[in-house]
Structure 1
Amino acid sequence: MESFAIDRTRVRDISHLLLDDLGRLRVTPSRILSETTRTERLLFGILHGFYSFPTTELCEFLRGRIGGRSAIEIGAGHGILARELGIPATDNRQQEEAAIKAHYERLGQPTVPYGDNVERLDAAAAVAQYKPEVVIACWVTHRYDPSRPQAGGSETDVDEAAIIGSCDEYIFVGNEHVHANKPIWQLPHERLTPPWLYSRAANGSGEFIAIWNREQLRAEG
């Protein structure tokens, strides 16, 4: 995990722009986020346990991409994106575990504020239960593979190759630097870099949408 020193007395608090009256993350037009700085977004994300910020444009894109197909979100965290899309939100909710909570307390950071619409299911169980045609994920960590230690990851996180093999389309929203080592990059995919994606990443790299489609995999496999 990368660290950045932030002098909170010199950085604007943008909570009033991104949180609703209940303290939940809003779906925000990208023009509002475009008027914030990377450091402001990083501080906001750290203070509230958010990683990516759903924009109106992202939701419109995903609705169009889903079309009439069944869909779920895995690793849904706060659940706002799934709520906006009207699809099931699932997450293993591991940051509610005592050991992980204690880890974040030592870092002086809050854990993810899981939404009340987020069902406790890991990614594999969620796909097995809902059998979706489309799976959406934002900023999920890939499963650690001991045969490829250089790729990093976590032993308790998502086997994305298995997810791709279990649905018609896997859509991942992430950051170029943070998610550079995903093993699934070796599989045929489509990569988009629209200007209306935002996150807490302060590393200077861009945000992206990557799509693994079953038909494309068959055609190029």
Structure 2
Amino acid sequence: MDVFVIDPSKVRDIAPDVLDTDGRLRVMPAAYWATTTPEERQLFGHQHGLYSFPTTELVDHLRALIGDRTAIEISAGHGVLAEALGIPATDSRQQDKEPYRSIYLASGQPTVPYGPNVIDCHASRAVRQYKPQVVIGCWITHKYDPANHAARGNEAGVDEPDILRNCETYVVIGNQRVHELKPLWTRPHTIEYPPFVYSRAQNGTPDFIAIWRGIRATA
């Protein structure tokens, strides 16, 4: 795990720019995020329990990818991306529940501010309930597999092979270093590093959009 020490007194607070009057993350143009530094994004993300920052360009890109197909977002967190796309937002809301909430608070890590539109529904249940053709996920932590300990993950993480079995297209937005151990990388996929994807990652590696073809794909 990368550890970075930031002195808040020496880093600009971008919260007034990117949070609305209700304290929710705004969907901003990539041009705005290009004016911020990795330290500013890292500090803001840490202080507000946020990991990825949707841009208007990302929303347009995903909207074109979805087309006229049905879609949901899993592990939606703040729910802002799904809201902008007009699709259901689902999340297990793990950080609202014990013992996870206490663990985060004890470590000084603010928990995710789950959006009012985010339905309490774990990813595997969500794909069965909604039967989406496209599944979108930002900053997905995969499910821990004891047989593959080196890949790490979380015991309550997303069973990504199960997601692939229940959709046509699985789209993940993440960071190269943060998500480098994802077991799904061994499966055929496409990946791009658009200039309009931004996150709190401060490790010198790019953010990405990766796409896997699901079992339900017909063409």
* TM-score interval (norm. to shorter): over 0.9
- Distance in 2, matches of 1:72 and 1:110, equals 26
**Which residue number in structure 2 is paired with residue 184 of structure 1?**
184
Which residue type is aligned with residue 33 of structure 2?
L
**Which residue number in structure 2 is paired with residue 137 of structure 1?**
137
- In the TM superposition, residue 216 of structure 1 has moved relative to its aligned partner by 11
- In the TM superposition, residue 21 of structure 1 has moved relative to its aligned partner by 1.2
SS at match of 1:44: helix
- Distance in 2, matches of 1:215 and 1:46, equals 36
SS at match of 2:191: strand
Which residue type is aligned with residue 210 of structure 2?
A
Scaled by the length of structure 2, the TM-score of the pair is: 0.96
Q: Which runs of 5+ in 2 are unaligned?
A: none
**Which residue number in structure 1 is paired with residue 97 of structure 2?**
97
For the Cα contact (< 8 Å) 1:188–1:216, is it kept in 2? Answer: no
Scaled by the length of structure 1, the TM-score of the pair is: 0.96
Which residue type is aligned with residue 189 of structure 1?
H
- Distance in 1, matches of 2:62 and 2:191, equals 14
Change over 3 Å in CA distance of 1:22–1:208 after alignment to 2: same
SS at match of 1:191: strand
RMSD over aligned Cα, in angstroms?
1.5
**Which residue number in structure 2 is paired with residue 36 of structure 1?**
36
Aligned positions of 1:163-202 closer than 5 A: 163-202=163-202
- In the TM superposition, residue 22 of structure 1 has moved relative to its aligned partner by 1.0
- Distance in 1, matches of 2:159 and 2:215, equals 20
Q: Which runs of 5+ in 1 are unaligned?
A: none
Tell me the number of residue pairs that the alignment of Structure 1 and Structure 2 aligns.
219
Which residue type is aligned with residue 170 of structure 1?
Y
Identity %: 54
- Distance in 2, matches of 1:216 and 1:181, equals 25
| Structure 1 residue ranges (4+ consecutive) displaced by more than 6 angstroms after TM superposition | 215-219
- In the TM superposition, residue 217 of structure 1 has moved relative to its aligned partner by 8.3
For the Cα contact (< 8 Å) 2:165–2:216, is it kept in 1? Answer: no
